[in-house]
Amino acid sequence: MAVSEPPGGGVGAPPYVADMASLVQSYSYLRASALLTEPGGTPSLGLETCGGLTSHGLAPYPRFFTGFLTAPAAAAGSLLAVADVAATRYFQPQNRASLDPVVTGNGDRLRFESFSGCGGVYARLDVLPGGIDGEILGNGTTNVDVNAPLREALAMIGGGEPLHVAVGPDDVTVTTFDGPVVEKKVPLPDRWLRGFAEVQVIAARFDLRAEMTGVEATRFLRTLPKNSRQVLWFKPVGRALRAASGPARGAVCLAGPDRLRTFARVLRHATALRVYGPPAPTGPVASAWEIELPGMRLTLTLSPDAARGFSGEGAVLGDLASASGAADADLVSALLAWEPRIELGELATESGLGIDRVRAALVRLGTAGRVGYDVAEAAYFHRELPYDTGRAEAMNPRLRDARRLVAEQRVELRDGTAVVASPSGATYQVRLAGDGACTCEWWAKYRGGRGPCKHLLGAQMAVRERENAGVSA
Amino acid sequence: MSGDEVAAGERTPVTWEDIEAAWRRGAIGALPVLFRGMPEKERKMLVAGLKERQAALRTGELGWDAHRRHVRMLKLVGPAVLGGPAGIAQWLAKRDFVFGAEGRDPLHKAVAEIIRDRNPEWLGNVAERLAQRMTVRTSVQNWFLVDRLARAAGGPPPGADSYVAGWLPFHGRNTKVPSLADSLRADSYTPVMVPRIFATDGVGEELEMWANTDVPERTWAVALRTLCDEGLVDRAQIVDRCLGRMLRGAEPRHLRGFLALYEGLDVTDDEAASHAVAYLRLLADAPATVAVVAQVTLRRLDEAGRLTAVQVEEATRAVLFRSEKKLLRPQFTWLGKAVKGHADHAGVLIAAAATAFAHPDTGIQDRALAFIAKHLPKLADGQAEPVREELRAAVDMLTGTARAGVLELLGESVEDAAPEGDAAPVHVPAEMPPDIESLDELVSEVAAFIAARRRSSWTGARNTPSEDPWTIERIIAAMLREHARDRRGLAATMGPMVDRVEEAGILGRRDDHVDVAAGLGSAVVASAGGRRVGRRWFEELFASPEGKNGRGSVSGHLAAPHRVLAGRLFETAERLRTPFPVPYLSRPADIRGYVDPAEFVRGLEKCAAAGRDPWPLDLEQALLRMPSTIDPEVVARAERLGTPAGKWAADVMAAGGMTAPDVAVLESVNRNRWQTQRIGYHLLPTVGEVPEQFADGVLARALCGMDQPVKQFQALAWQGFPEASSWPLVAPGHRDVIAAHAALNIAHAVDNPRAGLDVLPVLAAADGQAGDGIAVAFAYGLAAREAVDRAHAVDGLIVLAGRGTDAWNGADLGRTLSELIRMDIIRTTRLAESLRQAVAGGASAAVWAVMAGMIPGLRGERPAGLGDLLAVAAECAARSGARQFLSGLEPYVKKGTSRIAVEARRLETVLAG
């Protein structure tokens, strides 16, 4: 059991166990992000960056963009919305989070992403080519500083005049400043990291469920109950959504409608609302809500319950459990070049792998925070989260336990079933047919709603091991 | 001082015994003296003792008072012996010391003294570090210590946000001086701290918390105004920061304090004019209370001629996009004046009024339409063009009269508003769920049932997914099948489930714990070969509600369909314990729950051949599940058996199942026992006596003869029914009876979140007459408090609508609703929302049928929210093409602009065609 010191070192305090440890993330910016107005000049929004991976390798203060945003009021509102999500814990709103959003220079567009402190809401603003009048200077991903004066300045932006924006300091600034003047340290729990990465892969299974105009969207969103954490269901009827009593084919799940209140800032600029979700839900599921704005899109992806983060969904455990996937993922990752839209076909030809293996490799890369998923384009895009997500994924408790079950030979395979002897002494019957099932209590509680249990995962691993052994023998 | 330092080198080292002795003797004041001039080396040697004593705190052996004294001593000694400001700050912030020194305390002075003696520069450093360790919400502890250290250091206040959070109540609660301004004036930090109030998140509440509005000089608003007037703080900066703070936004409770500060400043027109942009943004995004202030200010500026037409247009669009009526109404008045004031830009301003068409509220649409209709004809052609453009864009988002009005203004022909011809989706019956195939699957299902029950008992009824109505039936069928096939195999596989049942605590050890889960628990224990569980509650299950000794019994607080289920499960347990398999008679053969009569009679024949009686509850359940039309040959076969069971079965089958008992509505008024005041009104269904054919039955007797629903309603007050959706399977052809029982549960949903409303769509799809039971159950369901619960009723209503008018009577439901509204039992707004959703789902004809029954029943009363209801009535009448005279509408059709009058007139127009 790994033991690490709590942040700041501790005298006589109990040592933290690795499972509960939270990494501390340090942000250091050259200066604070601010709306700068030079005397007599037009205002310019300077968003400051801190270290991240770019197309030219690691950079301390990368510069991604300089130019104009064509719809400044909508852009400012959306940026505030993204920052709001980063600063909120929807389940325990009194405890504010203090995480900074992530910005990606992505070929022809800019993406701003954030993940709520509670791990249940993912927000992304895609500023599309139509919303940009300027130059993307480089590709890469990094954090962007948000502070109170900047929020006030963003709230003041309105009107139709294009707004000048610079993401990252220019060379002159970098050389004249002695060192970073804004430094923040925030705890970064494992489950937050895992959730941020996994939400991409969960969204990759979504289809378009409903679409409505801006006016209809406003009317609909205003009918939602306030301060509610309930799980609501809707059925698309024509171009509207009608309240429904529960899951059904084509139904849309909205868990914790209160979490959509972030949209209030941009609703007046909305031209459309699109809702995405998995095709045939049987219980509460995640959903993505995308507001289309002039030249940009703001998307909120919500977890299946306000009290539930994305990290425990287990949607990707099956893919991660396979041993051969790692090599495929390495191969595919070498071919990525900050594309805003990853074409599966091209990747398949280039890598020589089949489409299915490329898709599996992308799932793996997604959980490592190295690709994101854009539901509107129905495509992955390349970006590298500026966090150590790989470590968090390797530490997935269920995966680790399953590996241990296999390693200790506690899994006995039979015909279409398996018997798993738990270290606690109980034995569980695992059925492998279809999605599989288990007789353990955890499975009884969720019935596959949060992915496979460790026993099923272990049994699947054992089956794969046996197949591989059969092939090599 | 210098003499001490010289002496320190020569004296004997101080030990922990010395420290503790000094602490006991002279308490706080003695310790700084003891440590003064002590060399660092000697201090270091005392650290080990410090840690030991801290560990002693955690043993819990010290009494409360001793613990507190111990904590105070350690807090004081730590800064004297630990190395460096970082270590000291960490020590002072320890959680072990949380209770011991709060508020203003002489201890803090001694701590400051000890630190100053070591190194005066450490004071500010420790203060800053300690402040960093506190958050805005935990600043209560240690704030006074931080304050003392920072002031002793003589530097600026600590920069951490937590310092602000403590500074506000520090002054707000200072009652030693006559006014808050006095308190602030005396504080050298004030000029620095005041701007920081606006920069710190999460402290807005503190501005109000200690303020007593009866004593204005104690409020922050007045104090800040005074300081501004005196020039102690910069007024221009405060105005700017205040507006900025409100722009940045927060929860309303945090913003209220800042709004009060702002209003206290009495901002002048000049100041406001230079911040016009800020007000415009507040108008768009701030909470209504703040937006109102912005609106008033901007309007004042406009009337003073200090706003441009573009700004007025922006303000108008910002407000008219919002949904708060208190903002919308004044905006039209302002706009009317502004059109005259900015005559050159009248067109743009009038066009802005079209923003209001986006509202679903027809009243607001009409208001905008009237405004535009009034001003448009006066405009020159060039000016009118932007208005026409807006109108053209708005046509598509409007319906009904507003749409017609807009088209008329545009000079285009109003196309015939033909009924949109929507229809409720045709109801498609669900498919039979597959049988449980293997033992492993059976174990999974049982485990899932137990886990769900365990979870729902903790998290309550909310957010628990509806239970599958077939779970219990499938489990019973699979258990009996496996029992007949391989009894030992069943026992071996189910073994581990017994522990889970025990752990989940669902075996019904106490009477009030008995429910369906207890029944399943008995069956699980029995299937694993265990002992008999639940005999006692089973005996009471069908006894009289008063019980043997008048103390009440299980049957008193368990809904009848649940008693049926629990009883059958207990009987299943008994069967599993006997080694002889007897045919399972009541196995449902179709999705509605009917048995296959031929299969049933075959089972009876097998019983007779084996010389065994069928299990009684199984037999009775099978008879309750008889379809209404049965092949006479099958009936004859039952008759031929000659057994009592065969005779009974033949009678029931020949009659086409159980004769439907009467379901009626009971109105009752509860009065206070000693006074005549009415304390409650109930409208609940009753179920008539058990039919003659089932006079010897147990289950039918439980389902029928409910003549005191109010008593039952009160007994069920604390339960919701997660598995009520399985109830229709108990008596498939008698949904009115089942609905009558469900109504007792659903009636509670009017004020509570409630499980079990998912039975409504199932009832809607079930067979049997739909009378008062269905009407009452749906009436309460449609007006349930929670949107989630109402959604079940709406789904049910749409299913009913899809089955056609012969399946139910909408007017009955309407009359029941009107009665509940008149008695003030349900909220009209919730009902209107449900009915609107049903219309959206295509059930407009059905909703109109409900409305046509309800509106006459209101007898001219005007409950709150009636306008909403009439608006829905107008909409569904238009959509379904209803053309009729509706009695009962006249009292509402009046002149005037009240919502009720407007919507009633609209409805009248629609009905007149």
Please name every residue paired with A182 in a beta bridge, in sequence order, or none if there are none.
Answer: A29
pLDDT at B5 over 70: no
Please name every residue paired with A110 in a beta bridge, in sequence order, or none if there are none.
Answer: A105, A127
Q: Is B369 helix (H, G, I), strand (E, B) or coil?
A: helix
Report how far residue A406's alpha carbon sits from residue A463's, in angstroms, rounded to the nearest whole number. 10
Q: Which residues contact A128 (CB under 8 A, 6 or more apart)?
A: A108, A109, A295, A296, A297
Compute CA distances B668 → B240, B665, B711, B712, whole Å: 63, 10, 11, 13
* Pair B365, B400: CB distance under 8 Å: no
What confidence score (pLDDT) does residue B564 get?
A: 93
Count Cβ atoms below 10 Å from residue B153 Cβ, excluding itself: 21
Please name every residue paired with A164 in a beta bridge, in sequence order, or none if there are none.
Answer: A44, A68
* Pair B778, B799: CB distance under 8 Å: no
Question: B596-628: per-residue pLDDT in tens?
Answer: 999 999 999 999 999 999 999 999 999 999 999
What confidence score (pLDDT) does residue B382 get?
A: 87
Residue B774's closest CA among B624, B663, B851, B668? B663
- Among A232-246, B355-369, B449-463, B760-774, name the one with the lowest average pLDDT: B449-463
Is there a contact between A264 and B285 if contact means CB atoms under 8 Å apart?
yes
Report how far residue B783's alpha carbon sits from residue B750's, in angstroms, rounded to the nearest whole number. 6
Is there a contact between A231 and B787 if contact means CB atoms under 8 Å apart?
no
Q: What are phi and psi for residue B738, nearest 5 degrees?
A: -60, -40
Residues of chain A contacting B500 with CB distance shorter than 8 Å:
441
Is there a contact between B278 and A218 if contact means CB atoms under 8 Å apart?
no
Is there a contact between B284 and A447 if contact means CB atoms under 8 Å apart?
no
Question: B545-555: per-residue pLDDT in tens?
Answer: 655 555 556 66
Quick one: closest CA in A to B761, which residue? A245
Look at B4 and B321; give whichever has higher pLDDT: B321
Residues of chain B contacting A422 with CB distance shorter than 8 Å:
none
Look at B635 and B97; give whichever has higher pLDDT: B635
* Pair A369, A392: CB distance under 8 Å: no
The angle formed by the CA atoms of residues A140, A145 and A149, to the nearest 5 degrees, is 150
Report how far residue A215's alpha carbon sits from residue B390's, in angstroms, rounded to the nearest whole number. 14
Q: Match 């993406």 to its residue by tokens.
A: A111
Across A267-291, average pLDDT: 92
Across A117-142, average pLDDT: 92
What confidence score (pLDDT) does residue B459 get?
A: 44
* Pair B91, B77: CB distance under 8 Å: no
pLDDT band at B460 (very low <50, low <70, confident <90, very high): very low
Q: Match 């009409």 to its residue by tokens.
A: B366
The partner residue sitting opposite B247, judged by closest CB among A155, A267, A447, is A155
pLDDT at B511 over 80: no
The partner residue sitting opposite B787, judged by closest CB among A94, A155, A243, is A243
Query: How much is the ipTM here?
Result: 0.86
Radius of gyration of chain A (CA): 23
pLDDT at A99 over 90: no
Percentage, residues of chain B above pLDDT 70:
92
Mean pLDDT of chain B, nearest integer: 87
pLDDT band at B387 (very low <50, low <70, confident <90, very high): very high
* Pair B126, B149: CB distance under 8 Å: yes
Q: How many residues does chain A have?
A: 473
Q: Is B549 helix (H, G, I), strand (E, B) or coil?
A: coil
Percentage, residues of chain B above pLDDT 90:
56
pLDDT at A198 over 90: no
* Pair A66, A45: CB distance under 8 Å: no
The region, left, alpha or beta by phi > 0 then psi within -120 to 50, assigned to residue A260 is: alpha
Q: How does DSSP assign B495-506, residue by residue?
A: HHHHHHHHHHT-
Report how far residue B201's alpha carbon sits from residue B136's, in angstroms, rounded to the nearest whole number. 8
Range 445-464 of B in CB contact (< 8 A) with A: 447-448, 450-452, 455, 462-463
Question: A339-382: per-residue pLDDT in tens?
Answer: 899 998 999 999 888 888 898 888 888 888 889 999 999 999 99
What confidence score (pLDDT) does residue B458 get?
A: 45
Compute CA distances B1 → B12, B36, B37, B479, B843, whole Å: 18, 9, 8, 91, 93
pLDDT band at B168 (very low <50, low <70, confident <90, very high): very high
What confidence score (pLDDT) does residue B516 get?
A: 84
Mean pLDDT of chain A, nearest integer: 85
What confidence score (pLDDT) does residue A2 get?
A: 39
Q: Is A382 helix (H, G, I), strand (E, B) or coil?
A: strand
Question: B728-746: per-residue pLDDT in tens?
Answer: 999 999 999 999 999 999 9
Residues of chain B contacting A447 with CB distance shorter than 8 Å:
448
Q: What predicted TM-score, i.e. pTM, was given to this entire model?
A: 0.87
Report how far residue B85's alpha carbon sits from residue B558's, in angstroms, rounded to the nearest whole number. 67
* Pair B358, B321: CB distance under 8 Å: yes
* Pair B354, B335: CB distance under 8 Å: no
Is there a contact between B440 and A437 if contact means CB atoms under 8 Å apart?
yes
Find the largest Cα–Cα distance for chain B.
123
What confidence score (pLDDT) does residue A19 get?
A: 36
What confidence score (pLDDT) does residue A182 get?
A: 84
Q: What are phi and psi for residue B577, nearest 5 degrees?
A: -80, -20
Question: A152-171: per-residue pLDDT in tens?
Answer: 999 988 877 788 999 998 88
Look at A427 and B98; give whichever has higher pLDDT: A427
Exposure string over B538-547, b if 16+ CB within 10 A, otherwise e: bebbbeebee
Q: Is A283 on the interface with B (CB under 8 A)?
A: yes
pLDDT at B98 over 60: yes
Interaxial angle between packed helices B400-410 and B362-375, expressed in degrees from 0 to 180 and rounded to the nearest 10: 20
Quick one: closest CA in A to B56, which residue? A12
Q: According to the 3-state scheme, what is the secondary structure of B260-298?
A: HHHHHCCCCHHHHHHCHHHHHHHHHHCCHHHHHHHHHHH
Q: What token pair was written down for A283?
A: 């219980």
Question: A249-274: per-residue pLDDT in tens?
Answer: 888 999 999 999 999 989 999 999 99
What confidence score (pLDDT) does residue A4 get?
A: 39
Exposure string over B881-907, b if 16+ CB within 10 A, otherwise e: bbeeebebbeebeeeeeebbbbbbbbb
Please name every residue paired with A36 in a beta bridge, in sequence order, or none if there are none.
Answer: A44
Cα atoms in the 13 Å half-sphere on the side-chain side of B65: 0
* Pair B877, B904: CB distance under 8 Å: no
Residue A80 distance to chain B (closest CA, Å): 10
pLDDT at B60 over 50: yes
- Among B137-151, B420-434, B448-462, name the one with the lowest average pLDDT: B448-462
Question: B822-863: per-residue pLDDT in tens?
Answer: 988 999 999 999 999 999 888 999 999 999 999 999 999 999
Quick one: closest CA in A to B201, which residue? A148
Across A46-70, average pLDDT: 88
pLDDT at A14 over 70: no
Compute CA distances B232 → B177, B185, B198, B581, whole Å: 18, 8, 17, 94
What confidence score (pLDDT) does residue A56 get?
A: 83
What confidence score (pLDDT) does residue B3 get?
A: 42
pLDDT band at A5 (very low <50, low <70, confident <90, very high): very low
Question: B538-577: per-residue pLDDT in tens?
Answer: 888 887 665 555 555 666 678 899 999 999 999 999 999 9
What confidence score (pLDDT) does residue B63 get?
A: 82
What confidence score (pLDDT) does residue B425 get?
A: 79
Across B713-724, average pLDDT: 78
pLDDT at B219 over 50: yes
Q: What token pair was written down for B241?
A: 């920061």
What confidence score (pLDDT) does residue B8 get?
A: 47
Count helices and strands (H / E) in chain A.
13, 29
Please name every residue paired with A380 in a beta bridge, in sequence order, or none if there are none.
Answer: A373
Residues of chain A contacting B495 with CB distance shorter than 8 Å:
none
Count Cβ atoms below 10 Å from residue A183 Cβ, excluding itself: 11
* Pair A69, A81: CB distance under 8 Å: no
As a dihedral over the C-alpha atoms of residue B503, residue B507, residue B511, residue B514, rounded to 10 degrees, the angle is 110
What confidence score (pLDDT) does residue B822 get?
A: 92
Residue A252's closest CA among A179, A192, A319, A304? A304
Residue A107 distance to chain B (closest CA, Å): 32
Residues of chain B contacting A242 with CB distance shorter than 8 Å:
794, 837, 840-841
What confidence score (pLDDT) does residue A433 get?
A: 82
Query: Which secondary-structure segment (H or E) carries A288?
Result: strand A287-293
Residue B602's closest CA among B650, B634, B571? B634
Quick one: closest CA in A to B356, which residue? A215
Compute CA distances B9 → B79, B520, B650, whole Å: 21, 82, 113
Range 306-325 of B in CB contact (< 8 A) with A: 314, 317-318, 321, 323
What confidence score (pLDDT) does residue A400 get?
A: 87
